[in-house]
Chains A and B, each alone.
Chain A
Amino acid sequence: DAEITQSPRHKITETGRQVTLACHQTWNHNNMFWYRQDLGHGLRLIHYSYGVQDTNKGEVSDGYSVSRSNTEDLPLTLESAASSQTSVYFCASSVTGTGGEQYFGPGTRLTVT
């Protein structure tokens, strides 16, 4: 069965360190998204991609970067982790075009100390 996975599921890191969160989907979806979820804010879009070599900034992209070298993966990198980036991170994917439901991964809980 097709799925979307994230790793690690939990991560504790120190301020200033570089951290990469992995997202892998086997749906063969062109669209992939990264969100962060914090209490009272719902899901906020960090970065998104419509296909290989395509990346776009979302509403809260400062301090984050992504790259898309293949269809299946969209890793999220925190260049220099800050305590404000402590959050739960969700990756999602959807089919090309408008109106496609998004399939979410299980999430990564990141704590920056």
Chain B
Amino acid sequence: GQQVMQIPQYQHVQEGEDFTTYCNSSTTLSNIQWYKQRPGGHPVFLIQLVKSGEVKKQKRLTFQFGEAKKNSSLHITATQTTDVGTYFCAGERTTDSWGKLQFGAGTQVVVTP
């Protein structure tokens, strides 16, 4: 079954609003990555978090890695229509082979102008 859970599955956002998507793993992760997939496109790497409690920002996007390295979040402020797409978290488990990722099911984001 899915080892990495992502919520919510769908997110409808009014342009200009903020939202957060959450990612939870049943096992400790060595690192977590976030990807964005535009409709009809392929996943594109956004960022990687490695350290416990790490916070990274990319313009309007803020990524956090939990203290126990089992959960992560992506917060987007002042949503724009360019933020439309599906956001995936992907964790590399400490018990797994290097480079092998467990993907969450994704949060599909729809932005209403």
Contacts and interface: CB of A to CB of B under 8 A. Distances in A.
Contact of B30 (A50, A95, A98): A98
Interface of B: 2, 6, 9, 30-31, 33, 41-45, 48, 50, 88, 90, 92, 97-101, 103-106
B42 A43 contact: no
A17 B97 CA distance: 33
Contacts of A92: 43
Contacts of A31: 99
Interface residues of A, number: 28
A99 B103 contact: no
A90 B48 contact: no
Nearest to A101: B45
B104 A107 contact: no
B99 A90 contact: no
Contacts of A98: 30-31, 92, 98-99
